[in-house]
Protein backbone atom coordinates (compact mmCIF):
# COMPACT_ATOMS: atom_id res chain seq x y z
CA UNK A 1 0.00 0.00 0.00
CA UNK A 2 1.40 3.41 -1.00
CA UNK A 3 0.85 6.07 1.66
CA UNK A 4 0.83 9.87 1.87
CA UNK A 5 -0.07 12.33 4.62
CA UNK A 6 -1.02 15.92 5.28
CA UNK A 7 1.83 18.30 6.06
CA UNK A 8 1.16 18.07 9.79
CA UNK A 9 -0.10 15.13 11.87
CA UNK A 10 0.08 16.46 15.43
CA UNK A 11 -3.69 16.61 16.04
CA UNK A 12 -4.20 13.38 14.10
CA UNK A 13 -1.57 11.62 16.22
CA UNK A 14 -3.20 12.71 19.48
CA UNK A 15 -6.67 11.50 18.49
CA UNK A 16 -5.95 8.27 16.64
CA UNK A 17 -4.72 6.17 19.62
CA UNK A 18 -7.99 6.98 21.43
CA UNK A 19 -9.99 5.81 18.43
CA UNK A 20 -7.90 2.70 17.84
CA UNK A 21 -8.31 1.62 21.47
CA UNK A 22 -12.06 1.29 20.79
CA UNK A 23 -11.83 -0.58 17.49
CA UNK A 24 -13.25 -4.11 17.61
CA UNK A 25 -12.32 -7.22 15.57
CA UNK A 26 -14.37 -7.90 12.44
CA UNK A 27 -15.94 -11.34 12.73
CA UNK A 28 -15.72 -13.72 9.78
CA UNK A 29 -19.44 -14.42 9.63
CA UNK A 30 -19.78 -15.03 5.88
CA UNK A 31 -18.87 -18.19 3.97
CA UNK A 32 -17.74 -18.55 0.37
CA UNK A 33 -16.21 -21.19 -1.88
CA UNK A 34 -17.48 -24.66 -2.71
CA UNK A 35 -16.62 -28.30 -2.11
CA UNK A 36 -13.42 -28.64 -0.09
CA UNK A 37 -12.50 -24.98 -0.52
CA UNK A 38 -15.05 -23.27 1.71
CA UNK A 39 -13.76 -20.47 3.92
CA UNK A 40 -15.08 -17.79 6.25
CA UNK A 41 -14.47 -14.10 5.74
CA UNK A 42 -15.47 -10.70 7.08
CA UNK A 43 -17.50 -8.59 4.66
CA UNK A 44 -16.90 -4.89 4.08
CA UNK A 45 -19.90 -4.09 6.27
CA UNK A 46 -18.38 -6.16 9.10
CA UNK A 47 -15.15 -4.16 8.92
CA UNK A 48 -17.13 -0.90 8.93
CA UNK A 49 -19.15 -1.95 11.98
CA UNK A 50 -15.94 -2.83 13.81
CA UNK A 51 -14.44 0.64 13.47
CA UNK A 52 -17.00 3.30 12.48
CA UNK A 53 -18.22 4.31 15.95
CA UNK A 54 -14.68 4.38 17.33
CA UNK A 55 -13.50 6.60 14.49
CA UNK A 56 -16.47 8.96 14.36
CA UNK A 57 -16.55 9.52 18.13
CA UNK A 58 -12.94 10.71 17.97
CA UNK A 59 -13.31 13.05 15.02
CA UNK A 60 -12.33 10.69 12.18
CA UNK A 61 -14.06 9.85 8.94
CA UNK A 62 -13.16 7.57 6.04
CA UNK A 63 -13.14 8.44 2.34
CA UNK A 64 -12.63 5.72 -0.28
CA UNK A 65 -12.44 6.40 -4.00
CA UNK A 66 -10.92 4.99 -7.16
CA UNK A 67 -7.74 6.54 -8.52
CA UNK A 68 -5.81 5.95 -11.76
CA UNK A 69 -3.32 3.11 -11.85
CA UNK A 70 -0.07 3.17 -13.78
CA UNK A 71 -0.43 -0.56 -14.44
CA UNK A 72 -2.57 -1.75 -17.32
CA UNK A 73 -5.42 -3.98 -16.21
CA UNK A 74 -5.25 -2.89 -12.57
CA UNK A 75 -7.74 -1.14 -10.30
CA UNK A 76 -6.46 1.26 -7.64
CA UNK A 77 -8.37 2.33 -4.53
CA UNK A 78 -7.47 5.24 -2.25
CA UNK A 79 -8.52 5.17 1.41
CA UNK A 80 -8.18 8.46 3.28
CA UNK A 81 -8.47 8.63 7.07
CA UNK A 82 -9.55 12.23 7.66
CA UNK A 83 -9.45 13.98 11.06
CA UNK A 84 -11.70 16.91 11.97
CA UNK A 85 -8.57 19.08 12.21
CA UNK A 86 -8.13 18.65 8.46
CA UNK A 87 -5.09 16.40 8.87
CA UNK A 88 -5.16 13.08 7.05
CA UNK A 89 -3.43 9.83 6.19
CA UNK A 90 -4.05 8.16 2.82
CA UNK A 91 -3.12 4.78 1.40
CA UNK A 92 -3.52 3.45 -2.15
CA UNK A 93 -3.87 -0.29 -2.81
CA UNK A 94 -3.96 -1.92 -6.24
CA UNK A 95 -5.12 -5.27 -7.57
CA UNK A 96 -5.29 -6.81 -11.05
CA UNK A 97 -8.71 -6.88 -12.69
CA UNK A 98 -9.11 -10.58 -13.38
CA UNK A 99 -12.50 -10.35 -15.07
CA UNK A 100 -13.22 -7.21 -17.09
CA UNK A 101 -16.97 -6.95 -16.59
CA UNK A 102 -19.18 -5.11 -14.06
CA UNK A 103 -19.20 -8.08 -11.66
CA UNK A 104 -15.42 -8.38 -11.83
CA UNK A 105 -14.94 -4.65 -11.25
CA UNK A 106 -17.34 -4.73 -8.31
CA UNK A 107 -15.60 -7.74 -6.76
CA UNK A 108 -12.11 -6.22 -6.94
CA UNK A 109 -13.38 -2.82 -5.73
CA UNK A 110 -15.05 -4.38 -2.69
CA UNK A 111 -11.92 -6.44 -1.97
CA UNK A 112 -9.73 -3.35 -2.09
CA UNK A 113 -12.10 -1.31 0.07
CA UNK A 114 -12.34 -4.06 2.69
CA UNK A 115 -8.63 -4.76 3.06
CA UNK A 116 -7.56 -1.12 2.68
CA UNK A 117 -9.92 -0.03 5.45
CA UNK A 118 -8.85 -2.86 7.76
CA UNK A 119 -5.15 -2.13 7.14
CA UNK A 120 -5.54 1.64 7.50
CA UNK A 121 -7.18 1.63 10.95
CA UNK A 122 -6.02 -1.76 12.29
CA UNK A 123 -9.13 -3.93 12.23
CA UNK A 124 -8.25 -7.61 12.82
CA UNK A 125 -10.42 -10.21 11.08
CA UNK A 126 -11.12 -13.20 13.33
CA UNK A 127 -13.16 -16.40 13.27
CA UNK A 128 -16.66 -15.99 14.67
CA UNK A 129 -16.09 -18.51 17.47
CA UNK A 130 -12.95 -16.71 18.65
CA UNK A 131 -11.29 -20.01 19.53
CA UNK A 132 -8.24 -19.94 17.33
CA UNK A 133 -6.73 -16.78 18.81
CA UNK A 134 -7.49 -17.68 22.43
CA UNK A 135 -5.63 -21.01 22.67
CA UNK A 136 -2.13 -20.76 24.21
CA UNK A 137 -0.05 -22.40 21.45
CA UNK A 138 2.81 -23.75 23.58
CA UNK A 139 0.44 -25.57 25.95
CA UNK A 140 -2.23 -26.78 23.55
CA UNK A 141 -0.16 -27.79 20.55
CA UNK A 142 1.94 -30.31 22.53
CA UNK A 143 -1.20 -32.33 23.27
CA UNK A 144 -2.51 -32.51 19.73
CA UNK A 145 -2.52 -35.91 18.05
CA UNK A 146 -1.18 -36.58 14.58
CA UNK A 147 -4.76 -36.71 13.36
CA UNK A 148 -5.48 -33.28 14.79
CA UNK A 149 -2.29 -31.92 13.27
CA UNK A 150 -3.33 -33.30 9.89
CA UNK A 151 -6.69 -31.56 10.29
CA UNK A 152 -4.91 -28.29 11.07
CA UNK A 153 -2.78 -28.68 7.97
CA UNK A 154 -5.83 -29.36 5.79
CA UNK A 155 -7.57 -26.31 7.27
CA UNK A 156 -4.56 -24.12 6.48
CA UNK A 157 -4.37 -25.44 2.93
CA UNK A 158 -8.08 -24.77 2.35
CA UNK A 159 -7.84 -21.25 3.72
CA UNK A 160 -4.85 -20.27 1.63
CA UNK A 161 -6.20 -21.96 -1.50
CA UNK A 162 -9.37 -19.93 -1.12
CA UNK A 163 -7.41 -16.71 -0.61
CA UNK A 164 -5.24 -17.36 -3.65
CA UNK A 165 -8.30 -18.10 -5.75
CA UNK A 166 -9.59 -14.69 -4.68
CA UNK A 167 -6.48 -13.23 -6.28
CA UNK A 168 -7.32 -14.96 -9.56
CA UNK A 169 -5.09 -18.05 -9.35
CA UNK A 170 -6.47 -21.33 -10.64
CA UNK A 171 -6.20 -24.77 -9.02
CA UNK A 172 -2.99 -25.68 -10.90
CA UNK A 173 -1.25 -22.53 -9.65
CA UNK A 174 -2.37 -23.26 -6.09
CA UNK A 175 -1.17 -26.87 -6.13
CA UNK A 176 2.16 -25.80 -7.59
CA UNK A 177 2.50 -23.14 -4.93
CA UNK A 178 1.79 -25.59 -2.08
CA UNK A 179 4.20 -28.17 -3.47
CA UNK A 180 6.97 -25.60 -3.09
CA UNK A 181 5.93 -24.11 0.22
CA UNK A 182 4.66 -27.11 2.18
CA UNK A 183 6.50 -30.23 1.04
CA UNK A 184 9.29 -29.76 3.61
CA UNK A 185 7.05 -29.35 6.65
CA UNK A 186 6.71 -32.12 9.26
CA UNK A 187 3.11 -31.48 10.27
CA UNK A 188 4.02 -29.67 13.48
CA UNK A 189 1.86 -26.74 14.47
CA UNK A 190 4.91 -24.50 14.86
CA UNK A 191 6.01 -25.15 11.28
CA UNK A 192 2.51 -24.66 9.91
CA UNK A 193 2.26 -21.34 11.72
CA UNK A 194 5.59 -20.34 10.20
CA UNK A 195 4.29 -21.20 6.72
CA UNK A 196 1.13 -19.21 7.34
CA UNK A 197 3.21 -16.21 8.43
CA UNK A 198 5.27 -16.51 5.24
CA UNK A 199 2.10 -16.57 3.16
CA UNK A 200 0.77 -13.44 4.85
CA UNK A 201 4.09 -11.74 4.10
CA UNK A 202 3.76 -12.90 0.50
CA UNK A 203 0.36 -11.24 0.15
CA UNK A 204 1.76 -8.00 1.54
CA UNK A 205 4.57 -8.14 -1.02
CA UNK A 206 2.01 -8.83 -3.76
CA UNK A 207 0.26 -5.58 -2.84
CA UNK A 208 3.60 -3.75 -2.83
CA UNK A 209 4.54 -5.27 -6.21
CA UNK A 210 7.63 -6.74 -4.54
CA UNK A 211 7.70 -10.36 -5.73
CA UNK A 212 10.77 -12.26 -6.81
CA UNK A 213 10.96 -13.43 -10.41
CA UNK A 214 10.22 -17.00 -9.30
CA UNK A 215 7.16 -15.91 -7.34
CA UNK A 216 5.97 -13.91 -10.33
CA UNK A 217 6.24 -17.06 -12.45
CA UNK A 218 4.10 -18.95 -9.93
CA UNK A 219 1.44 -16.25 -9.79
CA UNK A 220 1.53 -15.44 -13.51
CA UNK A 221 3.13 -18.30 -15.48
CA UNK A 222 1.99 -16.68 -18.74
CA UNK A 223 4.42 -13.84 -18.10
CA UNK A 224 1.91 -11.20 -16.95
CA UNK A 225 3.78 -9.99 -13.87
CA UNK A 226 2.35 -7.92 -11.07
pLDDT-derived band at 130, boundaries 50, 70, 90: very low
Q: Domain map of the chain by residue range?
A: 2-126, 135-219
pLDDT-derived band at 139, boundaries 50, 70, 90: very low
**Which architecture does CATH list for 2-126?**
2-Layer Sandwich (3.30)
Helix (H, G, I), strand (E, B) or coil at 221: coil
Write the DSSP assignment of 15-74 as a string of letters: HHHHHHTTPPPEEE-EEE--GGG-EEE--HHHHHHHHHHHHHTTTEEEEEEEE--SSTTE
Helix (H, G, I), strand (E, B) or coil at 89: strand
The mean per-residue pLDDT over the stretch 167-185 comes to 52
Task: Determine if the pTM surpasses 0.95.
Answer: no
Nearest to 33 by CA among 199, 155, 192, 172: 155
Side-chain half-sphere of 204: how many Cα atoms within 13 Å?
A: 7
The mean per-residue pLDDT over the stretch 49-54 comes to 93
Amino acid sequence: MRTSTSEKLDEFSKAFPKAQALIQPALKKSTAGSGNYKYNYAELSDVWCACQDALNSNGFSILQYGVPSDKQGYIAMATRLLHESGQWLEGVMESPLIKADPQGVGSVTTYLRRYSLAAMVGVPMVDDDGKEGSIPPNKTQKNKTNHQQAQDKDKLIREVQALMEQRGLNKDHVEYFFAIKLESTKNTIQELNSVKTSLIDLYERVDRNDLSSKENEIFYPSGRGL
